[in-house]
C-alpha cells in the first residue's frame, strides 16, 4: 500500500506503541485520527504530526463505551472523507495470580483489550471495505502465545485478540482488507517497568511502529498476517 494521503485511525495513541505508530504513519504521508483517554497527550502528538506536514484529528475516547467508538470512526470519515488503515493498539495490563485476581480487574481488561478492539473493527469495516485496499493491525502480545505466573487474565485477553484476528483475516481477505496481528515482547514504554540494564536491550516503540509500517507497504497481493517481534538479547 502507498501510505501517502491515506487515512488512518490509531487507538491508544497517547503513549508508547500507539504514539510511535501514529507518528510513523504521518511521516509516510498519512492523515491520522488519534484516540485515547487523555486529550493532553493527543494534543502534544497532534502538534508533532503537524510538524511533519500531515493532519491529525485528536479524539478523546473510552473504548469501553460503544458510543465513543462510533464517534471515533464517524469523525474520521467526516473530516477526512474515508478510512484506509485501522490500528487497534489500545490495551491495558493488570497482573496477579488467579486466586487473588478481582472480577473488576478481569472485566476491565477484557473490556478494553478485546471488546474495544471488536467494537472499533466492526465500526470501521464498512468504510475499509469501500477501498480497493485497506488494512487492520491488531496489536496483541507475545503473551498471546506464552504463559507466565500472574499473567492469566492478560494472556487470555491477548489470546482472544489473536483468535479474533485469525478469523477476521479469513472473513475479509476477499474484500481487500488485510489483517495483521503483531505480537511484541517487552517494549520500553510506560506499560512496562524495567531496570536500566534491561532498558538498553528490550524493544523500543519505534521498532514496533517500523514493523507495522513495512507490513502495510507490502504489495496488495502479499499479506503478512502475523508477526512476533522480540528482543534479540532479552
pLDDT tens for each residue of 152-192: 999 999 999 999 999 999 999 999 999 999 999 988 765 55
For residue 193, pLDDT over 60 is answered with: no
CA–CA separation, 12 and 98 (whole Å): 27
Averaged over 60-70, what is the pLDDT? 97
Instruction: Give 132: exposed, middle or buried? Use CB within 10 Å, 0-12, 13-18, 19+.
Output: exposed
Can you identify the CATH homologous superfamily of domain 7-229?
Answer: NAD(P)-binding Rossmann-like Domain (3.40.50.720)
Can 127 be counted among the known catalytic residues?
Answer: no
Q: How many of the other CB atoms lie within 10 Å of CB of 12?
A: 26
| 63 to 14, 18, 88, 181: CA distances (angstroms) | 14, 14, 10, 19
Which sequence spans correspond to the domains of the chain? 7-229
Q: What is the pLDDT of residue 191?
A: 56
**If DSSP codes are grouped into helix, strand and coil, which group holds residue 11?**
strand
* pLDDT in the model for residue 56: 98
Query: Which residues, other chains included, contact 137 with Cβ-Cβ below 8 Å and sequence gap of 6+?
Result: 21, 85, 86, 87, 88, 89, 179, 180, 181, 182, 212, 215, 216
Please give the model's pTM, rounded to 2 decimal places: 0.94
Q: Which CA distances in Å does 32 have to 18, 23, 26, 29, 48?
A: 11, 9, 7, 9, 12
CA distance 41 to 167: 33
> CA 66, CA 61: separation in Å to the nearest integer?
10
Predicted confidence at residue 194, as pLDDT, reads 45
Residues 119-144 have a mean pLDDT of 97
Catalytic, out of 32, 154, 203, 216: 154
Percent of the chain at pLDDT above 90? 91
Amino acid at each position: 500500500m502507498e501510505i501517502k494521503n491515506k487515512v488512518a485511525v490509531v487507538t491508544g495513541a497517547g503513549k508508547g506503541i500507539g504514539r510511535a505508530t501514529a507518528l510513523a504513519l504521518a511521516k509516510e504521508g498519512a492523515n491520522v485520527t488519534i484516540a485515547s483517554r487523555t486529550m493532553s497527550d493527543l494534543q502534544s502528538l497532534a502538534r508533532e504530526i503537524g510538524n511533519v506536514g500531515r493532519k491529525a484529528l485528536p479524539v478523546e475516547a473510552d473504548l469501553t463505551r460503544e458510543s465513543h467508538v462510533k464517534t471515533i470512526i464517524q469523525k474520521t470519515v467526516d473530516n477526512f472523507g474515508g478510512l484506509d488503515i485501522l490500528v487497534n493498539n489500545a490495551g491495558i495490563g493488570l497482573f496477579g495470580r488467579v486466586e487473588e485476581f478481582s472480577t473488576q480487574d478481569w472485566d476491565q481488561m477484557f473490556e478494553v483489550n478485546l471488546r474495544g478492539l471488536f467494537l472499533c473493527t466492526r465500526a470501521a469495516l464498512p468504510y475499509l471495505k469501500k477501498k480497493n485496499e485497506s488494512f487492520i493491525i491488531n496489536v496483541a502480545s507475545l503473551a498471546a502465545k506464552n504463559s507466565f505466573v500472574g499473567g492469566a487474565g492478560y494472556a487470555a485477553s491477548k489470546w482472544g485478540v489473536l483468535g479474533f484476528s485469525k478469523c477476521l483475516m479469513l472473513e475479509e481477505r476477499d474484500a481487500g482488507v488485510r489483517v495483521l496481528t503483531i505480537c511484541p515482547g517487552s517494549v520500553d514504554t510506560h506499560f512496562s517497568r524495567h531496570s536500566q540494564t534491561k532498558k538498553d536491550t528490550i524493544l523500543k516503540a519505534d521498532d514496533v511502529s517500523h514493523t507495522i509500517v513495512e507490513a502495510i507497504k507490502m504489495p496488495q497481493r502479499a499479506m503478512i498476517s502475523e508477526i512476533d517481534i522480540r528482543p534479540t538479547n532479552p
